[in-house]
Structure 1
């Protein structure tokens, strides 16, 4: 097969302890999946279930990267998250069997141009310019799940050595099996899909020169510098 120009390289993520890499298909993100964060965004988590949005696969940035402050924003926010890596596809997946579809877990940062997100929200428009921009998804290596779930563990991020977000994965409104099950009713999941599961309270602005470190118990620490 020939192309009018060379196709882009396959986006992939490092797998902890293995030479093989995880080829990325799609990136899904869950909105407002921690109650305290929903409240700080002005929403009531007891009345609104989580919803989904997407980022392009090429928004991923490997661990220990320096990334430029993005254009057209004056309010870039960090959002530390547990990421699910899907290894087995399916649709209408039962909650009881959802963990069979998990390849592993990683730490991600759903970087957000908050001013553009809020402007789009207030105008009733899609969030793409606020969420799906270039280099908006730093991620660690994926830790293989080995059949295990991920239902607890401290989640945190520090900016220039000061804690900004601190919570526990146990605080998720919808847990890992429920997220997979619900998402699979909207899309047919495929091997290579990543799911950013939502961020806890404490999101805030970063600026050029800031050094970010974030993690979840049992996973690598995600380190990013904003230039």
Structure 2
């Protein structure tokens, strides 16, 4: 990868986002760690080094995203890579009893937040004629997990948004793809009931959860200049659960 590239990783302070940020930094990119947890994002940026810096941002808030983008361009210059990993699982429960405000909150972070972040980076990428975007969806967006209607619906929306944007920008050297991971052991598990965690594990033919380094390997290739043809695509990381 070109060592002059700057990459934004949302939700980059922990989990899949941090694993991706660490790998991109090891390949010479300068990292902008976007996260709601300012202290953790700053700690992550210090540990990654290489000029990495943190931006406190709420992806569900367009003004917050605009401010983070302005700061990122001021400190890191042109942004050529975006990995959008910010997201929440929310609570588990049947749709008929699901809290209306909770459904809206999950959708605003996972789907509207994805729109905001993509919206922020695309104009400059279009002007430059180059960019790589990877949105983190979920196998739940393909299959629909029971008692997780808000999460499943929001991640299905991320898949649709990615396909649409990939086609819009296909005439340029801008690749827009998404990945659909099965569950990995991150802090997002803290938001879930144990029976839901057990359900997810039971559905994975490999019989284990996704490793963060495995996710980072695929995502970082999608961010590379080598990925010059594939766009608007969905890459499976579900351990055999979904093969389409």
Q: TM-score, normalised by structure 1?
A: 0.30
Higher helix share: 2
Comparing both structures, which one devotes a greater share of its residues to strand? Answer: 1
Higher relative contact order (CA 8 A, sep 6+): 1
